[in-house]
Amino acid sequence: MWTVSVRIAPGSPGCWPSTSSPSGGSPRSWGGYDAAILDEEGRGLMLVEAVADRWGIRERRGLGKTVWARITEAR
């Protein structure tokens, strides 16, 4: 099951969105990849890289991974 959350701390600028999935391995940054309109993958990290100040991947022992980002201002 996928889980999506957004953390907002009072008095702190921005937010920390994250998504967790049971799949192992690290997602790939597609760089210059042009996803076709019907592709079901290939856009997530491209979007994160476009709006996040920083982001990362946290492994969850035997439970998959969580991709998180910090977004503090409009780019």
3-47 confidence digits (pLDDT tens)? 889 999 888 888 999 988 888 777 766 555 566 666 666 677 778
Is 45 buried (19+), middle (13-18) or exposed (0-12) by CB count in 10 A?
buried
> What single letter denotes the amino acid at residue 22?
P
Q: Using alpha carbons, select from 56, 59, 51, 54 the residue that is nearest to residue 21.
A: 59
- pLDDT score for 13: 85
What 3-state class would DSSP assign to 42? coil
Asked whether the predicted pLDDT for residue 75 surpasses 80, the reply is no
